[in-house]
Chains A and B, each alone.
Chain A
Amino acid sequence: MASPSTRIDDGRDVDSDNSGPMREKLSVLIVDDELLVRKVHERLVSKLEVAKQVQTQTATNGKEALDLHLSGSSFDIILVDLQMPIMDGTEELRAMGVESMIVGVTSVDAGADKEAFMEAGLDECLAKPLTADKIKSLVETLEKNK
């Protein structure tokens, strides 16, 4: 079982585009039981020019994600694999009052189950593979809802 890891990339002092000042910090938790997916998603998020400081952490299942929150960590966005054999933790995180944007990531066609996933507490449901554009879109939604 992988331990949570933290990577911080120091930000760039440049506005990402002409739409306004870049946000100061973005923190993202990546919850997936697969090492490859955690590695790719962590790198994808770290390379985004959407904040002056981008911080990522990973967890291998919902229980680890819950433990992180119980230990005081908080995140702007939580990316959760919905097909993990051990709990994804969405309902539990919402029950704890976590206000992060919780985004379910699925490798199956989530069409039929999307409603059920959203009712469980997800803010959004995306299909793998995650791309830079998909994650940027999440950050834009985050900014709009501030």
Chain B
Amino acid sequence: MLGWGVEFLWAEMNRLLSLLFHQGVLDEQFLQLQQLQDESSPNFVSEVITIYFHESEKLLRNLRLLLMDRELSDYKKMEIHLNQMMGSSSSIGAKRVCNVCVAFRAASEQNNHAGCLRALELLEHEYCYLKNKLHELFQIEQQRALASGARYPAHQN
């Protein structure tokens, strides 16, 4: 029963990952990130993603603040924040977030306030979707790890 649970959870993880790849939410860089995790650094992926969430939310708040004042929008500062968001997003394979950052930066380079606002809303939407899906992935992974750990004590002859 527990063995079935582990296999089911593996299948769920793979299904979710396939979906995220198919939707273009993640790209192969996420797989590179997973390959960097091993026994010497068993929580590497979750550590990196936690940093990503923390830093991205700071950047999104800063971008919203910069756009609140229509008259004095600091486009140079916006580009700095966007470059940071692009750098970290590309490093974890967050492809759709990255693509929206590119469009956002284009609007910023043209000092297009309305375009920047639209891009920010889309960026917030994409980020929220990514965050929810990654949380789902980590929950399944945690359940799988627990189920794997629970299985072994039952194998006593």
Residues of A whose CB lies within 8 Å of any CB of B are 32-37, 39-41, 43-44, 47, 81, 83, 85, 107-108, 128-132
A40-B91, A108-B86 given; name 10 further pairs at CB < 8 Å: A33-B84, A36-B55, A37-B91, A40-B36, A47-B38, A81-B87, A85-B80, A107-B87, A128-B91, A129-B29
A128 touching B87, Cβ below 8 Å: yes
Q: Does B10 contact A (CB under 8 A)?
A: no
Q: Does B137 contact A (CB under 8 A)?
A: no
What residue in chain A is nearest B38 (Cβ atoms)? Answer: A47
- Determine how close the nearest CB of chain A comes to the CB of B109; give it in whole angstroms: 11
Please measure, in the bound complex, the distance between the C-alpha atom of A131 and the C-alpha atom of B31, giving whole angstroms: 11
Residues of B whose CB lies within 8 Å of any CB of A are 29, 32-33, 35-36, 38, 41, 44, 47-48, 51-52, 55, 80, 83-84, 86-88, 90-93, 105
Name B's interface SS.
helix
A128 touching B55, Cβ below 8 Å: no
Please measure, in the bound complex, the distance between the C-alpha atom of A142 and the C-alpha atom of B35, giving whole angstroms: 25
Q: Which of A39, A85, A129 is in CB contact (< 8 Å) with B90?
A: A129
Given contacts A34-B88, A83-B80, A107-B90, whether A39 and B32 have CB atoms under 8 Å apart is: no
A83 touching B87, Cβ below 8 Å: yes
- Determine how close the nearest CB of chain A comes to the CB of B131; give it in whole angstroms: 15
17 A-B contacts, Cβ less than 8 Å apart?
A32-B87, A35-B55, A36-B48, A36-B51, A37-B87, A39-B48, A40-B36, A44-B32, A47-B35, A81-B87, A83-B80, A83-B83, A83-B84, A107-B87, A108-B105, A128-B86, A128-B91
